[in-house]
Amino acid sequence: MLNQKKNTCKAIRYVDLFCGIGGFRIAAEQAAGELGIPVMCVFSSDIDESCQRAYEENFREKPAGDITAINAKDIPDHDILLAGFPCQPFSIIGHRKGFEDTRGTLFFDIARILEAKKPKAFLLENVKLLAGHSNGKTQICL
């Protein structure tokens, strides 16, 4: 009989910002499950009340609201930050106003939390012009 080792890895703790109805969370948990890595969502946030209700229905926990009103110190420590922040200000199909669009400034809330919590990794929504926005000046922030 094969000797199977029990997975004794500590759970990877993550936060799910601009979580919507939970797309990043589902992907993270499925990928971790396929690799046999335990994960635990320790905080989620979304300003949209309809999304909050759907997320709560999907995961049995209601996301916090407006991330701009949440002190980074109040966010639990975590290993990975996931953020599906509003991409319209940077998207090639949007108006490309970047930081001149209020939604674009949410990028700085991600940076604020990264600075305060210093997770081992972060994953932002793939937005084609994020790094190239403003002639590459946004990339310096990354």
Catalytic choice (41, 51, 87, 141): 87
87 is catalytic: yes
Long-range contacts of 31-36, Cβ-Cβ distance < 8 Å, separation of 24 or more = 36/7
Are 14 and 42 in contact by the 8 Å Cβ rule? The answer is: yes
**Torsions phi, psi for 58 (to 5 deg):** -75, -35
- The SS3 call for residue 46 is coil
Helix %, strand %, coil % of the chain (to 5): 40, 15, 45
Number of residues assigned to the chain: 142
Catalytically annotated residues: 87
